[in-house]
A and B are shown apart, each in its own frame.
Chain A
Amino acid sequence: MARFAGGKAPFLRISDQPNQGTGIIMRDFMIGLAPVILFSWYKNGIQVMIDGNIGFFEMLYPLIFILLGGLMSLIMEGITLYIIHPDSRSLKGVMAKLSTSYPMVPGLLLAMVLPLYTPVWVLIFGCFMGTVVGKMLFGGFGHNIFNPALIGYLTIAVTLTGVINAAGGVFNASEVLVDSYAGATPLTLLSRIKELDYDKLVAPYGTLWNFFLGTIPGALAETGALAILVSYGWLVYRKVIKWFTPLIYVGTVFVLSWFIGIASGEPGIWFPLYSILSGGLMFGAVFMATEPVTTPRNPLGKVVFALFLGVFTVLFRYISTLPEGVATSIVFLNIFTMPIDNWTAVIRARGIKKQTAIKASVFAVLFIALVLYAILKAGSMYTAFIQGPIGIGGWF
């Protein structure tokens, strides 16, 4: 009688298959980032060099900058592991830990949402805040509450914006020469003029088609909606992210912006389109709102999370003084991931029954109240520049 190995059912595991598991998810995620990184490099490096505005070494900067972000957060996580884990005090030990904790992701994502002319030391500071403070101090991968990249981003946004602007800011060497941009990205412009006027908000940057392609000023990788959509398609195809989270998030912002437009007298569909195509919304929706550790696990929870993300983004963006709102709303909702997950898990397991109706209605009432507040408040804050109707073609 031979003695066999023990184990627990099920004996088939996707994670045991040779072409599956951590490494593959990591690889797929990196491939998913590639179109956005390449677009960012093209827009801020190659195209600018083709325009003749920068030299070769400046052309390499966006690419090196983004990769440096990944490398720095890798190194910092390695050093932190070495310090806090006595059993990781060797190359092998640290490597073993790093190979399963996706160490490069926070830095890469952080670098991608920073302006082009961010000094490297600011990036390193952001990586430190994200990786060490936002991730490792919570107990490392899988235990962090907040999205590490966004912790880094928000810290920089609060403390070091001036430094970044002094170093050159968000415009690349071609954009800085365009007088019509007037030193503002579309969203900072809106928060400045508080007026829904196509000629002022969209026309200086071309048409909405430019917004879609991403040839408008903005942080390194956040503008390329088309490239982000390609990434989205790949990540969904490889099942790295859930298809509906970004869709619901962006959709909520779209619908709400439309209503806000109507409430302030601008019923044109260009405004919701402008809303979802400008700033980091698409990027945040695809790469941050789907980040698994800090968002709800069950599908219903993801839906609720995405819906609230949409509302809070609109609130932060159009009602508070923050021009962006994506990062803030994601980090804010990260706090509520646990309760949302728990409640929706119960609702999902039981269906809408007497026991779960209260929880479901709390979500519904909260959501509707926030939506109404956003529409009424923003509708009264913004004025629309009434003009003759333009055909949809005119916006592209």
Chain B
Amino acid sequence: MKVFFGKHGFILILVAIFVLIFGLGGVYSRFMTSELEEHIEENATGAEYALYLEMFPGADTLTPYTPGEVSKTYPLAGGRGDFAPTVDKALKILQGTSEKGVVYVINTKGKEPMKVGVGISLENDACVGIAVLEQNDTPDYFSQLGDPFYSQFDAKALSDLALAVDTFAGVTYSSKAFEIALFYARELYAADYDFVIPTVAMTLVKLEYNFDPTTFIASPYIANIIYGDQDTEAAVMLSASFDYVGLVGGGTDLEADFQAAVKALAQGAGTLNTQASFVSFDEENNTLVMQTKGYNPNAIQASIVLNDTLDIVVSITFVSMETYANQGGYGDYTGGPAPAVENNLRNQYLADGDPNVDGVAGATVSSNAVRSLLQLLDGFVEAQNGGE
């Protein structure tokens, strides 16, 4: 053995060094590779986290945690049914060791799925900001949402019963996504923290259109509610944005709490199509002007001439600039310039009196808009008839 080492010791040492380097070097390389992967991931989340930290001045650390489970559904804009938002992740925002707030990353939906982070401050139970992480909505519309829109989230108290988002005119779908996210974040927040969503004892019995031509412009909706400890019944008139206007037939106004509650309930009900609305009514000529929202930010207007008893539609004339985005026409429909689609649908309605007209292929959005206008109109006519 000793002889062997005396003779070959040198080469054995060289080989040993070789093997040692081979092994340790391999470990080192593997370490480098795994670290790199980690760095890439860290950096991606790092940029995202920077957005969240910005919402909380003074905050320095984030800790992910598992939020409580809350399942709720919210109606989407444009009558496209209900949507159940989910929470992607939740992060506690810390300043040193003290908890400053929480961020919920929520999968919501505008026209298309959208991912936003909602920051909620623990100090005053208020939303302190919303960060858009992913969105696929129509760029021309989405880009219209600017600072004035986003700044409403900078300090929005969650104790506000209605917690309504001021919709940016013309970008209703995307605006709704933020509202859903905000509502859902409040639910999560309530589940995770010592916060109670304000409630008022009130039941919405029925929400319907106001077909009284004398008041329907200022308050297009009427809600029947039962409220208060004594289960008081009331019918209240609501504005286009579900703000309380007054009691039907007058009387003592509701208290502020109940006013907010009725708004929140009406808003959340989602049973009414708010696309079409009345604009004006000329009693002398029995002429009703209505509008509905299609693609064009300038809504489709319709002048409707009724008979003396207001229960039969005599004629409908559309004033429409319906063009889809920048393409100079209704989406795929190329049958003729506006109001070709509107007139088509009007003729269907006037022919059989059924407001559930068939949409025109290639002009779905405009068709939907006109259909809801016709449905509202039909409701109005029916209501006059029934009123006799």
Contact: A167 with B29, CB < 8 Å?
Answer: yes
Whether B39 is near chain A, meaning CB under 8 Å from some CB there, is yes
Whether B33 is near chain A, meaning CB under 8 Å from some CB there, is yes
Whether B353 is near chain A, meaning CB under 8 Å from some CB there, is no
Q: Classify the interface of chain B: helix, strand, loop or mixed.
A: helix
Whether A351 is near chain B, meaning CB under 8 Å from some CB there, is no
Of the listed stretches A27-35, A115-123, A236-244, A255-263, name the one at the interface; the rest are far from the partner chain.
A115-123
Contact: B29 with A79, CB < 8 Å?
Answer: no
Set of chain A residues within 8 Å of B325, measured between Cβ atoms: none
Listed from nearest, the 7 A-B pairs whose CB atoms lie closest are A120-B25, A119-B29, A168-B36, A167-B33, A120-B29, A173-B39, A177-B43
Known contacts A53-B39, A117-B36; A79 and B21 CB within 8 A of each other: no
Contact: B14 with A75, CB < 8 Å?
Answer: yes
**Of all chain A residues, which has the CB nearest B43?**
A177
Residues of chain B in range 75-105 having any CB-CB distance to chain A below 8 Å: none
Whether B3 is near chain A, meaning CB under 8 Å from some CB there, is no
A-B contact list, 6 entries, CB within 8 Å: A53-B43, A57-B28, A57-B31, A58-B32, A72-B21, A89-B11
Contact: A94 with B39, CB < 8 Å?
Answer: no
Q: What is the total number of residues of chain A having a CB less than 8 Å from a CB of chain B?
A: 31
Whether B256 is near chain A, meaning CB under 8 Å from some CB there, is no
Determine which of B14, B26, B39 lies in contact with A79 in the assembled complex, contact meaning CB atoms within 8 Å: B14
B25 CB → nearest A CB, Å: 3
A142 CB → nearest B CB, Å: 23
- Partner-A contacts on B (CB < 8 A): 7, 10-11, 14-15, 17-18, 21-22, 25-26, 28-33, 35-37, 39-40, 43
Contact: B25 with A54, CB < 8 Å?
Answer: no
Q: Classify the interface of chain A: helix, strand, loop or mixed.
A: helix
Residues of chain A in range 111-141 having any CB-CB distance to chain B below 8 Å: 117-121, 123-124
Known contacts A72-B21, A76-B18; A58 and B26 CB within 8 A of each other: no
Question: Whole-angstrom distance between the alpha carbons of A124 and B19 in the complex?
Answer: 11
Question: Whole-angstrom distance between the alpha carbons of A68 and B29 in the complex?
Answer: 12
Determine which of A54, A64, A118 lies in contact with B35 in the assembled complex, contact meaning CB atoms within 8 Å: A54
Contact: B22 with A124, CB < 8 Å?
Answer: yes
Residues of chain A in range 190-244 having any CB-CB distance to chain B below 8 Å: none
Set of chain A residues within 8 Å of B37, measured between Cβ atoms: 168
Whether A387 is near chain B, meaning CB under 8 Å from some CB there, is no
A258 CB → nearest B CB, Å: 38
Contact: A117 with B26, CB < 8 Å?
Answer: no
Set of chain B residues within 8 Å of A53, measured between Cβ atoms: 39, 43
Known contacts A79-B15, A120-B28, A120-B29; A91 and B10 CB within 8 A of each other: yes
Set of chain A residues within 8 Å of B26, measured between Cβ atoms: 119-121
**Of all chain A residues, which has the CB nearest B8?**
A89
**Of all chain A residues, which has the CB nearest B27?**
A120
A89 CB → nearest B CB, Å: 8
Question: Whole-angstrom distance between the alpha carbons of A55 and B11 in the complex?
Answer: 36
